[in-house]
């Protein structure tokens, strides 16, 4: 067959500063196929998709549409070329209606200066009905996350694109919604539209896709027909890397403590998490793995009072704690480091000292309600030295620090109240490699002082390299526990995506839900 | 390990260098430069009388600037300060005319201003409106209230006792009381803002409300009381004006809020909250005042003055924004 692929990428390279996100990547999308793209977080999938959608520009290499080289200089050009991308993150206007959001891109291209809202809503409702019964006149802000995700998809459907890229579209969807989406994807394929489908879920890939491409560390590893491979093959190709020596030594078996420091029983919030139970030992680093949206963050939030729970209890050293809000958790000795560092972690305009002292104001305040600034500075100096924060001075604003050092300040803030348990959500996200290993070493040192640490991470190497034990979360429940002997990236991916055995693939996802 | 040796615990920054990087230093330099130019341009500029007049002219407004700066730090804004200044003035004035002792009347005027702050604080924290809209409504409502109280005509208060008039008109060893009150307010709040735990929470809340909430700070309470503080200081300014002018006009202070906000922003307060200093804000209003005085001495038409002040505001904020942007890269 000599037919040109509808979309082709030749030797594309993209780097951000010194970091190479993509190295001479080749990729071909045939007409009317559903092509799965797999790889760990950071493998370069999203970078490539953003290049195809005109969001990023490659440093080298070329993109061809129907065999002709093109320059996708902006998202508008991508639209004109018929390439539609459904982002993993929701990017909608919360105050506009579903219909307005769906036709935002289309409106941009339309010639007429006036809006015909009646026609707009009718048309939007028609598209939406294929996916789910959502009233298109509702505001996006009023919808649940899964419905918002469906709006993102519906938005892409309104553009008459020839290539549709779906980046983990089912991450936030329920089973029924996902099934409806698969039906539509098959319809689109029948209509001749080519689809790139990014997902971690092997069951979905093997029931839906025609071919699969695996990326690893910014390189193209392999492209195969789905019929020729097994999920095991794909997972092995995705991993294929040795865990480097960058991680600090784990707890020695003889150093293990039997003392349970934190014990969580039957924790539920009636929504995202379902009867979660686990124990955290003294001096242990416990990992929480799983897909984005699987409920890991929600579990941490429910433990420390940032999320209302419907049942379950949290005990510290055997004593059940009453934790109604975050202040209670801090007083009990449990602190939480948010994954969203800038959004809810640090105060960027304020000084390093002022950031470190925020949880500890009471002990720093004198009888007249005045802050003891010397004590505050001493506290800050102490932690800055212990954590090795590189800075100009403790009076400098946090905005003057690098990401890694900002994160150290956020950790220092938590340590200032002498916690017994630290919950850390993506502690090294967006941090360069050097600072990353410093933070890992720091966490290990903290654990050795007898603190219990829970680390939530989407990076498998980090999870396996750092943690003494890993719990894998799937759909709000603990899907399995891995200790040092059976810990492997394959095992985590299997548990996270719901593939238990090779022969269960076809029914994998549905079986797990039942 | 190499990393450990690289960790500088704290580089010692010389004191003069720190001052040099402060925006306050820049403002002082601009004010001095302007003063130098003016002292050549006009023989009347560098006279004791003109200096005192300039200081007097921004002292009372300066008290309001203090409150506004703290409110900007928490991430709020108050467009009603001009109306509240007037409200305290006409309420105290009409109570005095009705036979109330002027000191008591002033206290009532100030407390009533605090009440307005509480009502605004209620709408911001409980109802959940933003400061801009809430205070915009309050600005119009309170102005209306002033007209209702006075039936639209200025109150003549020449019967005010001399002891009360002394607050706005008298001097202590040649220094007007007004300036002394202003300096006291500035020193007090500058100290509190630097040192008091309660005021530290203002910075946390304004810098990142979510992070502050996650740190157990009651951010709504903080926002409420700062709103009240701003209105209260406006009330204080109102009764001082009454004493100084011996009159109360229902249209006094129209447009004052813009001057106040401009001064705070020139002085480094951010409309996004989280930053601002009292000293900076005071220098901001001093700069606007020097400019006004210079324009008058240079016989520039009043019609040009607002335009020039607006341009200064735009320039100051642009320079600051560009400097910050370059630092961030």
How is chain B split among helix, strand and coil, in percent rounded to 5? 75, 5, 20
Q: How far apart are CA A61 and CA A220, in angstroms?
A: 14
Neighbours of B184 (CB within 10 A): 11
* A393·B10 Cβ contact <8 A: yes
Q: How far apart are CA A465 and CA B62, in angstroms?
A: 59
Residues 6+ apart with CB under 8 A from A98: A124, A128, A134, A135, A136, A137, A138, A139, A140, A143, A151, A154
DSSP 8-state secondary structure symbol assigned to residue A203: H
Taking contacts as CB-CB distances below 8 angstroms, the residues of chain A near B194 are 373
Interface test with A, best of B13, B209, B211, B323 (most A CBs within 10 A): B211
Phi then psi for residue A263, to 5 deg, are: -130, 125
Q: Which phi-psi region, left, alpha or beta, contains residue B324 (left: φ > 0; alpha: ψ -120 to 50)?
A: alpha
* B214·A391 Cβ contact <8 A: no
Taking contacts as CB-CB distances below 8 angstroms, the residues of chain B near A349 are 207, 270, 274-275
Asked if the ipTM is above 0.95, the reply is: no
Question: Shortest CB distance from B211 goes to which of A346, A364, A370?
Answer: A346
* A369·B197 Cβ contact <8 A: yes
Interface test with A, best of B18, B193, B210, B214 (most A CBs within 10 A): B214
> Chain B residue with minimal CA distance to A360?
B215
Neighbours of B278 (CB within 10 A): 26
Considering only CA atoms, which of A349, A22, A74 is closest in space to residue B208?
A: A349
Per-residue pLDDT of chain A in tens (514 residues, 90 and over written 9): 447 889 999 999 988 766 678 889 999 999 989 999 988 766 788 889 989 988 889 999 999 999 899 998 888 888 888 898 888 777 788 888 888 888 876 665 566 667 777 888 888 888 888 777 888 888 888 887 777 878 888 888 887 788 999 988 877 676 777 788 888 889 889 888 899 999 877 788 998 999 999 988 888 989 999 999 888 788 778 776 544 446 778 887 777 888 889 999 999 888 888 889 999 998 899 999 887 778 888 899 899 888 888 888 899 888 888 888 888 888 899 998 887 766 677 898 899 999 999 888 888 888 888 988 899 999 999 988 888 888 888 888 888 787 778 888 988 888 888 899 999 988 887 666 667 778 888 889 889 888 999 999 877 878 888 899 999 998 888 988 998 888 888 888 888 877 654 434 333 333 333 3
Chains A, B: CB contacts within 8 A come to 91
Tens of pLDDT along B275-326? 889 999 999 999 988 888 888 888 888 888 888 888 888 887 787 777 665 4
Question: Shortest CB distance from B215 goes to which of A348, A359, A390?
Answer: A359
Contact by Cβ (8 Å): A81, A159: no
Tens of pLDDT along B139-185? 999 999 999 999 989 999 889 999 999 998 888 888 889 999 999 99
Strand ranges across the sheet with A60-65: A19-29, A7-16, A60-65, A68-70
Question: Shortest CB distance from A347 goes to which of B12, B204, B270?
Answer: B204
Q: How far apart are CA A131 and CA A140, in angstroms?
A: 16
* A344·B211 Cβ contact <8 A: yes
Handedness of CA A232, A236, A237, A239 (dihedral sign): positive
* Distance from the Cα of residue A194 to its chain's centroid: 26
Q: How far apart are CA B279 and CA A39, in angstroms?
A: 55
Q: Token pair for residue A82?
A: 């018929």
Q: Token pair for residue A289?
A: 């793995």
Min CA distance, B128 vs chain A (Å)?
17
Tens of pLDDT along A46-69? 889 989 988 889 999 999 999 899
Please, what is the angle between helix A489-497 and helix A231-239, to 10°? 130
Please, what is the angle between helix A117-131 and helix A145-158, to 10°? 110
* B274·A344 Cβ contact <8 A: no
Task: Tell me the C-alpha to C-alpha distance, in Å, between residue B309 and each of B28, B254, B329.
Answer: 17, 16, 31
Phi then psi for residue B306, to 5 deg, are: -60, -40
Please report the DSSP string for A240-262 in residue order: -----TTSPPPPPGGG----EEE
> Chain A residue with minimal CA distance to B272?
A349
Strand ranges across the sheet with A276-281: A276-281, A260-268, A311-316, A319-320
Q: How far apart are CA A311 and CA A277, in angstroms?
A: 12
Residues 6+ apart with CB under 8 A from A341: A403, A406, A407, A410, A429, A430
* B203·A343 Cβ contact <8 A: no
């Amino acid at each position: 067959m000599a037919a040109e692929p509808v979309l082709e990428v030749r030797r594309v390279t993209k780097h951000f500063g010194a970091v190479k996100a993509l190295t001479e990547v080749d990729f071909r999308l045939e007409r009317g196929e559903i092509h799965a793209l797999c790889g760990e977080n950071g493998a370069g999938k999203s970078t490539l998709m953003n290049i195809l959608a005109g969001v990023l520009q490659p440093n080298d290499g070329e993109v061809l549409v129907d065999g002709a080289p093109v320059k996708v200089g902006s998202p508008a050009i991508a639209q004109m070329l018929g390439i539609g991308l459904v982002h993993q993150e929701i990017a909608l206007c919360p105050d506009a209606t579903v219909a307005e959001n769906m036709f935002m891109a289309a409106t941009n291209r339309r010639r007429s200066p006036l809006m015909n809202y009646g026609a707009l809503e009718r048309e939007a409702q028609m598209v939406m009905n294929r996916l789910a019964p959502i009233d298109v006149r509702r505001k996006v802000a009023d919808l649940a996350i899964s419905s918002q995700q469906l709006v993102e998809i519906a938005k892409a459907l309104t553009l008459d694109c020839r290539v549709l890229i779906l980046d983990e579209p089912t991450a936030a969807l329920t089973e029924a919604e996902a099934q409806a989406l698969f039906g539509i994807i098959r319809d689109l394929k029948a209509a001749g539209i080519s689809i790139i489908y990014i997902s971690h879920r092997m069951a979905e890939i093997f029931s839906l896709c025609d071919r699969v491409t695996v990326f690893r560390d910014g390189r193209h590893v392999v492209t195969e027909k789905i019929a020729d491979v097994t999920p095991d093959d794909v997972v092995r190709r995705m991993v294929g890397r040795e865990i480097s020596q960058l991680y600090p030594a784990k707890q020695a078996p003889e150093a293990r403590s039997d003392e349970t420091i934190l014990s969580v029983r039957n924790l539920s919030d009636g929504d995202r998490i379902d009867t979660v139970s686990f124990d955290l030992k003294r001096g242990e680093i416990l990992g929480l793995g799983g897909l984005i949206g699987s409920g890991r963050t929600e579990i941490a939030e429910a433990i420390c009072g940032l999320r209302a729970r419907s049942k379950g209890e949290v005990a510290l050293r055997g004593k059940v704690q009453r934790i109604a809000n975050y202040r209670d958790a801090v007083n009990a000795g449990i602190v939480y480091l948010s994954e969203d560092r800038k959004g809810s972690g640090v105060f960027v305009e304020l000084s390093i000292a002022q950031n470190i002292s925020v949880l500890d104001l009471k002990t720093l305040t004198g009888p007249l309600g005045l802050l003891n600034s010397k004590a505050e500075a001493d506290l800050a100096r102490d932690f800055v030295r212990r954590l090795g924060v590189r800075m100009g001075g403790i009076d400098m604003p946090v905005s003057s620090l690098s990401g890694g050092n900002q994160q150290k300040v956020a950790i220092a803030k938590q340590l200032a109240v002498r916690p017994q348990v630290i919950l850390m959500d993506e502690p090294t996200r967006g941090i360069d490699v050097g600072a990353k290993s410093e933070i890992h070493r720091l966490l290990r040192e903290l654990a050795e002082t007898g603190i219990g640490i829970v680390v939530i991470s989407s990076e498998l190497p980090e999870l396996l390299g750092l943690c003494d034990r890993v719990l894998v979360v799937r759909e709000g429940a603990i899907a399995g526990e891995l200790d040092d002997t059976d810990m492997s990236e394959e095992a985590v991916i299997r548990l996270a995506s719901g593939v238990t055995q090779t022969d269960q693939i076809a029914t994998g996802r549905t079986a797990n839900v039942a | 390990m190499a990393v450990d040796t690289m960790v500088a615990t704290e580089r010692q920054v010389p004191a003069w260098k720190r001052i040099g990087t402060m925006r306050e230093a820049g403002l002082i330099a601009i004010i001095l430069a302007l003063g130098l130019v003016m002292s050549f341009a006009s023989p009347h500029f560098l006279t004791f009388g003109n200096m005192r007049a300039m200081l007097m002219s921004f002292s009372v407004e300066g008290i309001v600037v203090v409150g506004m700066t703290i409110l900007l730090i928490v991430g709020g804004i108050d467009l009603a300060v001009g109306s509240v200044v007037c409200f305290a003035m006409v309420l105290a004035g009409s109570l005095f005319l009705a036979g109330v002792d002027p000191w008591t009347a002033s206290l009532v005027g100030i407390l009533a201003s605090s009440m307005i702050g509480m009502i605004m604080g209620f709408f911001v924290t409980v109802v959940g409106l933003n400061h801009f809209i809430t205070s915009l409504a309050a600005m119009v409502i309170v102005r209306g209230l002033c007209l209702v109280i006075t039936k639209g005509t200025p109150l003549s208060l020449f019967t005010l006792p001399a002891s009360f008039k002394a607050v706005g008109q008298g001097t202590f060893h040649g220094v007007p009381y007004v300036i002394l009150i202003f300096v006291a307010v500035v020193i007090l709040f500058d100290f509190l803002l630097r040192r008091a735990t309660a005021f530290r929470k203002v910075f946390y809340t304004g810098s990142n409300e979510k992070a502050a909430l996650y740190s157990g700070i009651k951010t709504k309470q903080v926002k409420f009381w700062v709103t009240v503080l701003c209105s209260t200081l406006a009330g204080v300014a109102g009764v001082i004006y009454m004493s100084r002018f011996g009159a109360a006009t229902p249209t006094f202070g129209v447009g004052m809020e813009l001057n106040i906000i401009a001064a705070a922003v020139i002085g480094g307060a951010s409309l996004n909250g989280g930053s601002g200093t009292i000293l900076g804000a005071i220098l901001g209003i001093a700069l606007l005042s020097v400019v006004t005085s210079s324009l008058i001495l240079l016989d520039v038409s009043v019609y040009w003055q607002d335009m020039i002040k607006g341009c200064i505001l735009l320039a100051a904020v642009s320079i600051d924004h560009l400097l910050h942007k370059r630092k961030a890269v």
